[in-house]
């Protein structure tokens, strides 16, 4: 009976020691977990530090009388104007119209820019034939085409679509052309030594190598589309965020004007987030994009 009690005591002591060791390990890891969570929260919140600080300063300046409500109404007045427009449904009609114009213009202009960029980047003859003409057109400001666009298309939706498409065409075109031409020649030679040629070489080596540059053009165009849209929507539009903003200006509704401006900013930020997500997904194989999400 005595040896059995001794064995049980030794087992209990070993179990307690093991539990203490696990507890010590957990206590040692606990600060690391908290530190990682704190760093992640800091990374998420730090980009919003400047906007929140500006809004607080703006509210303080408006309440103390430093800013006149005719020049810049306080943030609470802007929030009230947004709420009124949202409850009435007016803002959603304008946002839907502008979003459709932005998506359509980007699809047309970005799609053509991608196709011509691939064409001129891949074939020297196409570059010689087309690139000089495209570069001349690129240096014409899109806004300078407004009188001509009205003569061509009138004041219909086609005029707005044309202006947005022309504006987003060139960033995608230039970055696609640059991406194709700057693919590492060593990678192409190595792929050819393994027997790749023709479409397989283009699909598996050249296009992936050009993809980072192409996506930079896409991201830039997605931001530029909103800059062009607010001008395009001043051409006798009957709906859209730009129309809402210009109409509010006529009636000195500064709070509604700010709602339109902030709505453009939010939509532009959303487009940027989507483009970054597209980069993360399409370039998950790229060493420069691995681990960014963390």
Digit-coded pLDDT (tens) for 29-39: 556 666 776 77
Digit-coded pLDDT (tens) for 137-169: 888 887 788 888 888 887 778 888 888 999 899
pLDDT at 105: 92
> With helix as H, strand as E and coil as C, how does the chain read?
CHHHHHHHHHHHHHHHHHHHHHHHHHHHHHHHHHHHHHHHHHHHHHHHHHHHHHHHHHHHHHHCCCCCCCCCCCHHHHHHHHHHHHHHCHHHHHHHHHHHHHHHHHHHHHHHHHHHHHHHHHCHHHHHHHHHHHHHHHCCCHHHHHHHHHHHHCCCHHHHHHHHHHHHHHHHHHHHHHHHHCCCHHHHHHHHHCCCCHHHHHHHHHHHHHHHHHHHHHHHHHHHHHHHHHHHCCCCCCCCHHHHHHHHHHCCCHHHHHHHHHHHHHHHHHHHHHHHHHHHHHCCCCHHHCCCCC
Indicate whether 109 pLDDT > 90. Answer: yes
pLDDT at 111: 94
What does pLDDT average to over the chain?
81
Q: Taking residues 17-34, report their average pLDDT.
A: 53
Digit-coded pLDDT (tens) for 189-238: 888 888 877 888 888 888 888 899 999 999 999 988 988 888 888 777 78
pLDDT at 291: 60
């Amino acid at each position: 009976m005595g040896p059995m009690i001794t064995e049980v005591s030794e087992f209990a002591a070993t179990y307690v020691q093991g539990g203490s060791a696990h507890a010590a390990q957990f206590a040692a890891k606990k600060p690391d977990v908290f530190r990682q969570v704190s760093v992640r929260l800091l990374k998420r919140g730090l980009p919003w530090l400047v906007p929140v600080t500006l809004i607080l300063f703006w509210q303080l300046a408006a309440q103390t009388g430093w800013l006149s409500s005719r020049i810049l109404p306080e943030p609470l007045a802007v929030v009230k104007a947004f709420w009124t427009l949202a409850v009435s449904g007016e803002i959603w009609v304008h946002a839907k119209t502008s979003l459709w114009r932005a998506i359509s213009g980007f699809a047309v202009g970005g799609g053509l820019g991608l196709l011509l960029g691939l064409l001129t980047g891949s074939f020297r003859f196409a570059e010689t034939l087309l690139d000089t003409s495209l570069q001349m057109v690129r240096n014409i400001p899109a806004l300078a085409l407004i009188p001509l666009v009205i003569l061509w298309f009138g004041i219909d939706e086609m005029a707005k679509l044309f202006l947005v498409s022309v504006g987003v065409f060139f960033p995608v075109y230039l970055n696609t052309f640059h991406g194709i031409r700057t693919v590492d020649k060593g990678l192409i030679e190595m792929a050819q030594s393994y027997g790749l040629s023709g479409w397989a070489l283009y699909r598996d080596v050249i296009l992936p190598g050009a993809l980072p540059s192409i996506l930079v053009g896409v991201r830039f165009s997605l931001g530029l589309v909103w800059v062009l849209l607010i001008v395009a929507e001043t051409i006798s539009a009957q709906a859209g965020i730009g129309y809402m903003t210009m109409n509010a200006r006529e009636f000195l509704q500064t709070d509604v004007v700010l709602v339109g401006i902030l709505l453009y900013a939010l939509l532009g930020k959303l487009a940027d987030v989507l483009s970054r997500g597209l980069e993360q997904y399409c370039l998950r194989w790229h060493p420069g994009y691995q681990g960014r999400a963390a």
